[in-house]
Structure 1
Amino acid sequence: MNVGVAYADKFKQVWLKLEVPNGSTVRQAIEHSGMLRQFPEIDLEKQKVGVFGKVTKLDSPVEEGVRIEIYRPITADPELVERRDT
C-alpha cells in the first residue's frame, strides 16, 4: 500500500512516498519511512500526528494514498505574539 509521510523543521520540508504492508498503523508507517532517523528530534510520544490535516492516533490503521503528517510543537503562544500587518 502506498502512503506519504511529511515533516518540516525550521529549515526544510520532507515528504516521502513509500510502500507499507497492508494493515500498517500510523506509527509503523512513520518508523518505516526513516523520518525518525533523519530527524532525531521527533518524539512521537509528545508530538501530534495527523492524516491530511486531521489529528489522529499512532495506532490508527492507514489507508492507500494517505499523507501522514508529523506536527512540530508550537513554540510561541499565539496570544502573546504581536500581529504582523500584511
Structure 2
Amino acid sequence: MAAVDDILVEVAYAEPGRQFLRALRLPVGSTVAAALAASGVAEVCSIDPAHCAVGIWSRRVTLQSVLADGNRVELYRPLRIDPKEARRLRAQRRR
C-alpha cells in the first residue's frame, strides 16, 4: 500500500525500434532528476539523461522541476537533422 505522501509518475523514452515506459511511486516533492534516476532509463537505454531535453506532458522543463501526481516525464532525443534541411533534401530527391 502506498504512503499518503507518494505520487505516481511515469518516465518515457522512445527511439526507433524501442520504447521505455516505467511507472514509479515517489515521495511528494520529487524532481524530474529523481524520477529519471529511480526509473533506471540511463542503464536500460544506454543514455545520459543529463544530455537530453526533458519535459512533462510535452512541455519542456528542467531537471529540478518538481513533479505532481500523474505527471509523465519524457526524454527527448536530439534531432539528427534540422527539419527545414530534411524537407529541402526530400524536395531535391523528388526532382
**Which bracket does the TM-score occupy, shorter chain normalised?**
0.7 to 0.9
More strand by share: 2
Identity rate of aligned residues, in percent? 35
The aligned amino acid for 1:28 is: A
TM-score by length of 2: 0.80
Structure with greater helix percent: 2
Higher relative contact order (CA 8 A, sep 6+): 1
Q: Report the counterpart of residue 73 of structure 2 in structure 1.
A: 68
Partner in structure 2 of residue 19 of structure 1? 25
Partner of residue 30, structure 1:
36
Matched positions, count = 82
Stretches of structure 1 that go unaligned for 5 or more consecutive residues are none
Distance 1:45 1:65 in 2: 23
2:36–2:49: 8 Å Cα contact kept in structure 1?
Answer: no
The SS at the match of 1:28 is: helix
| TM-score where L is the length of structure 1 | 0.87
Instruction: Determine which structure has more spread, i.e. the larger CA radius of gyration.
Output: 2
Aligned-partner residue type, residue 70 of structure 2: G
